[in-house]
Each structure stands twice: as C-alpha cells, then as structure tokens.
Amino acid sequence: MNLPQTILTGTDYSDISFQALRVAGHLAQSWPARLVALHVIDRSELEDLRAQVDISEETVLERAQPQLDKSVRQMAGPEVNVETELIIGHPFAEILQAAERTGAGLLVLGAHGSGSERDRTGTLATRCVRKAPLPVLLVRENQDFPFRRITACVDFSETSREALLAAVLFARKENAALDILHVRRPPVPGFGDSAVPSGFSVFDIPLPPYQDASEYVAHQEQLFSEFLKPVEHALEGVAWNRHSLEDLNPAQAMAAFLRDSGSSVVVLGTRGRTGLRNLLLGSTAEKIIHRAPCSVLAIKPAGFEFQI
C-alpha cells in the first residue's frame, strides 16, 4: 500500500459514518491526500418516497446537496478540505464506482450502518472489504486519532507482508508504536509422537517429522524471522515489537491481544485470486473484522479485481 492521493469515505448521516469522516479527514491532512465524501441515496427507498410524493430525482438531489455539504463540513471540521458527491443508486455499486472514478487509494467506512448491531460489522462494510479493489479502513465508534498503536497480524503470506508494510506506513505517519503479531495453532496431533513414522500425513497433507513441540516452535520462529528480513529496512525508525502466540482459536487470541495492548487499528491481509467475483477472507480474517475492538484496515492481495 502506497500513500493514497485520494481518500474516499461514505456517509449515511449516522454517528459512525461521521466518525469515519473525521478519521478520513485526519488522514487526508497528515498524509496529505484529497478527501471525497460520498452519500448515496438508495434508489429503492427513493422510489418508495416517489410513490407517495410527486417529486423528481433532480429536485431530490437539488434539495439534498446543501444539507450534505453542511453536515460534512461541520463534522469534518473547518480545517479539512473535503469534496462531496451525492448520487442516487445502489450504495455498494456506487461506492465501488466512485472509488474507480476518483482514483481513491483508500476507502474509509464506519464499521456498521445506522441499522446495524453495534457489535457487528455491517453488511455494506463487509461487502466492501470483500469486493472493493482497494484497501478498506473500517472505523469503530470509539476510534480516536492520531493512532497511537498499530497491530499487524501476519501469517507469513505475501499479502500479510503487504499488510505489514501498510501498518509500518501508518505507524510512521502517526508516530505510533507497531506490534507485529503471529498466532500459530498448536502442532497437529502426532508431531511429537515418536511412534509416528516420517511421511505421516493428515488429509493427504505431508507433515514435517518434528521430534517434539519445541522443534515446531523453533521452526515457526525461524519462519517469522525470515518473513521479516525483506522489510527490515522499512522498519527502521519505527518503534516495533514482534509477538508470537499459540492458541487453538487464533481469532480469539488476536482479539484479546488487540484489547489488552490498546491497539488503535489492526492491519491484516485478505485472501483471494484474480478473476474471482468474491474475495475469500479466510475464517480468521472474517472473525477479526467482526470481533476486533479497534478499527480494521484490510489489505487486498496483489492483482485482486472485482467487476460489478
């Protein structure tokens, strides 16, 4: 992830969307970047209104624009330069089209909509994480800024390395501490069993012939070190620490770490393949997006595309 030249944020006049706007405004100022605030009037809701009131789409837009401008500028603050866009359509499709039209490098949304449960990520936000072809920052209601502590969750994949670099970028720009977290599951049963012959496999997956659990842990730590080597230069000047945990439920362990460490935002990579119409988040990433007590920045795999 490079510093975006344009940040796109969506607002539906809910408190959480205005909090996302404030966070986006802070980032746009500190990076700096152009900031665009988008409000989509849901076409289906508008049609329901027009069934009761004789009003044209042009009149709706004309009357709604001043209110949008006033609300956005009031919530963003007088020091933030923000453009507004008002569109009639389907919110999800219009957000993706606006991201492409504006050349946005980051999409900032409230973690839930006005009608969502506050402890769950909203449907629109989740769809954007899965399908928007750009990094998505989901802002929690309690989010403060500047960010004081950034956590990068890594699984040694290339996408998680991109997530780590994005976390380093955030930490550097915000002068924040950086935690690099890897949670491993305990060894598969049989790793420490001397009676298990070399070449034993589970579900046709060959298992390395570890002699005991300590060998498995040492191997995981070696992988961690090798994973960090290509980004050591990027970490220079950033206050960072690496953390290795072992838990049967990685998502639960990650959420507990985020809570106990007081992390401001967690950065994680998502999974997917170019050409697929859906992004497979992976069960752990999916759970973290819903359970994290802080804001979440989701980084897409290289080459990911989504066609509406």
- pLDDT of 78 > 60? The answer is yes
CB-count burial class (<10 Å; 0-12, 13-18, 19+) for 95: buried
- DSSP 8-state code for residue 118: T
Q: How much is the pLDDT for 192?
A: 45
Q: Which tokens hold the place of 49?
A: 């209104």
121 or 214, which is more confident: 214
Q: How much is the pLDDT for 100?
A: 94
Q: What is the pLDDT of residues 270-293, one digit of tens each?
A: 864 434 444 445 567 778 888 899
**What is the spatial distance between Cα 254 and Cα 261, in angstroms, rounded to a whole number?**
10
Most trustworthy range by pLDDT among 49-53, 145-149, 184-188, 208-212: 145-149
The CA-atom distances, in angstroms, between 63 and each of 42, 66, 119 are 15, 7, 34
User: Which of the four pLDDT bands, split at 50, 70 and 90, describes residue 195?
Assistant: very low
**What is the spatial distance between Cα 163 and Cα 157, in angstroms, rounded to a whole number?**
10
Contacts with 68 (C-beta within 8 Å, 6 or more apart), sequence order: 11, 37, 39, 84, 86
Q: What is the pLDDT of residues 82-126, one digit of tens each?
A: 999 999 999 999 999 999 999 999 999 998 754 444 445 678 888
DSSP for 279-297 reads ----HHHHHHHHH-SSEEE
Give pTM, 2 decimals.
0.86
